[in-house]
Amino acid sequence: MKIPVLPYKGEVFEEVRYAHFLEKTGYTTTPLPMKILSFGACNYSCPYCKRNGYRKEGNYIKDSIWVETGEIAEKVKEHLMHGYVIRLSGGDPCCFGGVAKAIAKYVKRKGGMVSIAHNGSDPEFVQQLIDYTDFWAIDLKSIRPDRFRRITGTGNKSNKYLNNTLMSISLVSWYDIPVEVRTIIFDDTEESELIEIAKFLKSCANPNLYWTLRLYKGQAVGKFKSPELTKVTDMARRIREAYPVLKIGIRKNWNGESGLLTI
Ligand code: SF4
């Protein structure tokens, strides 16, 4: 059986990233390296997607490479032997719930660590995987229905997906599982919306929750503009003062830990 996977620099399932938010929450003291498996499908079509999630061929993201699941299984074993966390990402792994669960179960049986990066749209997927995961990243792209619809390109499913996202974050939080909640920030992101999100995240009462404001870097044509770092930092500081229980960071670039500014 083959599944579509997004290559990174021409290679499949070889990208390495570090889960720096875990150090920021005090959950770990050293950076955990993750090997990233990027599934080549997504139920969103965000116009700014770095993985070209809006460019589909049928149900799959254009330029995906079809890979035998046996080959993926071999890579899982190899990465575990070298001490990597297995991160299931995308696109979105919820589009391949069965394969994702099989990998996660295998990794846990072998004593490894599993992390999932999910757009939040599928709390049933979260429920299915939760017992086989160590930490999550979940997107909360907006908490306002109109805006959520615009930036996710999800049309008449957007209300459902927004409600599902709040449920997914709540679910992970009920188990106190470490989660990085990621909000994309554009130049027109309003502080009042971020305050609404802060209230929701506070209500999750998860001591291992870290909220990352991700600065949009300007890949999409026309519609979206990058924000000013100083403006976002000021907003984040005011919110942190009002909600000191929240752990907040700004992802200003993708240069490892130095690109993540803790507020
Ligand atoms: S949810 Fe993520 S992978 Fe899917 S289209 Fe949006 S940015 Fe791309």
Supply the CATH number for residue 253's domain. 3.20.20.70
Here the tokens at position 64 are 């995906």
Looking at residue 222, what is its pLDDT?
Answer: 64
Q: How many domains is the chain built from?
A: 1
Looking at residue 258, what is its pLDDT?
Answer: 77
Q: How far is the CA of 41 from the centre of ligand 1 (A)?
A: 9
Find the domain containing 46 and state its range. 2-262
**Which residue from 38, 44, 157 has its CB within 8 A of the most atoms of ligand 1, so it is best to mutate?**
44
Which residue minimizes the CA distance to atom 7 of ligand 1?
49
pTM score = 0.96
Cβ–ligand 1 contact at 93 (below 6 Å): no
Looking at residue 221, what is its pLDDT?
Answer: 59
Looking at residue 31, what is its pLDDT?
Answer: 86
Cβ–ligand 1 contact at 61 (below 6 Å): no
Looking at residue 186, what is its pLDDT?
Answer: 96
Cβ–ligand 1 contact at 90 (below 6 Å): yes
Which residue minimizes the CA distance to atom 6 of ligand 1?
46
Per-residue pLDDT of the chain (263 residues; tens, 9 = 90+): 999 999 999 999 999 999 999 998 888 998 899 999 999 999 999 999 988 888 898 889 999 999 999 999 999 999 999 999 999 999 999 999 999 999 999 999 999 999 999 999 999 999 999 999 999 999 999 999 999 999 999 999 999 999 999 999 999 999 989 999 999 999 999 999 999 999 999 999 999 999 999 999 876 656 789 999 999 999 999 999 999 999 999 999 877 777 889 99
Cβ–ligand 1 contact at 44 (below 6 Å): yes
Cβ–ligand 1 contact at 42 (below 6 Å): yes
Q: How far is the CA of 154 from the centre of ligand 1 (A)?
A: 11
Q: How far is the CA of 44 from the centre of ligand 1 (A)?
A: 6
Cβ–ligand 1 contact at 51 (below 6 Å): yes
Q: How far is the CA of 97 from the centre of ligand 1 (A)?
A: 16
